[in-house]
Amino acid sequence: MIARFTITQEMVDAFVRFTSDRNAQHTDEQVARRMRFRRRVVHGMLPFSHLLLIGREFPGKQIDLKETETRFLKPAFTGDEIELSVSMNGDAFEATWTNAVNGDVLTKSKGTLGITSAKAHAADDGDSMVSVVLEENVLGVGELEGKRESIPFQVSAALARRYEQMIGAPEGSAGPSMMATLLLSTMIGMRIPGRYATFMSFAVTFEQPVEFGQVHQLIAVVEKVMAATESLNLSLSFERDGATIGGGKMGALVSPPPRPMITCQEIRERHLDLGLRNKVALVTGSSRGIGATTAKLLAMHGCKVIVNYFHGKADAEEIAGDIRAAGGIAMAIGCDVADEQQVQQMFAQIEAQLGGLDLLVNNAVRDAQPKELERLDWEDYLGELNVTLKGMVLCCRETLPIFRRRGRGKIVNLSTIYVDNPVKGQSKYITAKSAVVGYSRALAREVAGENIQVNVLSPNMTQTDLLA
CATH number of the domain to which 384 belongs: 3.40.50.720
Q: Which residues pair with 174 in a beta bridge?
A: 63
- pTM above threshold 0.85: no
| Same structural domain, 306 and 407 | yes
Q: Which pLDDT does position 467 carry in this prediction? A: 42
Q: Which pLDDT does position 458 carry in this prediction? A: 86
| Same structural domain, 275 and 310 | yes
| Same structural domain, 143 and 271 | no
| Same structural domain, 166 and 278 | no
Residues 6, 141: Cα–Cα separation, whole Å: 34
Domain contains 180: yes
Q: Which pLDDT does position 466 carry in this prediction? A: 44
Residues 426, 419: Cα–Cα separation, whole Å: 10
Domain contains 129: no
| Same structural domain, 277 and 231 | no
Q: Which pLDDT does position 468 carry in this prediction? A: 37
- Whether 429 is a known active-site residue: answer yes
Domain contains 342: yes
| Same structural domain, 354 and 441 | yes
Domain contains 127: no
Q: For residue 425, what are the domain limits?
A: 264-457
| Same structural domain, 269 and 230 | no
Q: Which amino acid is at 460?
A: N
Query: What CATH number does the domain containing 93 carry?
Result: 3.10.129.10
| Same structural domain, 343 and 209 | no
Domain contains 131: no
Burial code of 372-406, b = ≥16 C-beta within 10 A, e = fewer? eeeebeeebeeebbbbbbbbbbbbbebbbebbeee
| Same structural domain, 227 and 318 | no
| Same structural domain, 326 and 405 | yes
Q: Which pLDDT does position 271 carry in this prediction? A: 61
105 phi and psi, to 5 degrees? -80, 120
| Same structural domain, 284 and 413 | yes
Residues 341, 324: Cα–Cα separation, whole Å: 29
Domain count, the chain: 2
Q: Which of 163, 196, 429, 439 is catalytic?
A: 429
Q: What is the mean pLDDT of each run of 10 residues along the chain (468 residues)?
A: 95 95 91 82 96 92 94 94 95 95 94 83 69 91 92 94 94 94 96 93 96 95 91 96 96 83 69 76 91 91 93 90 92 94 96 94 82 83 90 96 94 89 85 92 93 89 47
Domain contains 198: yes
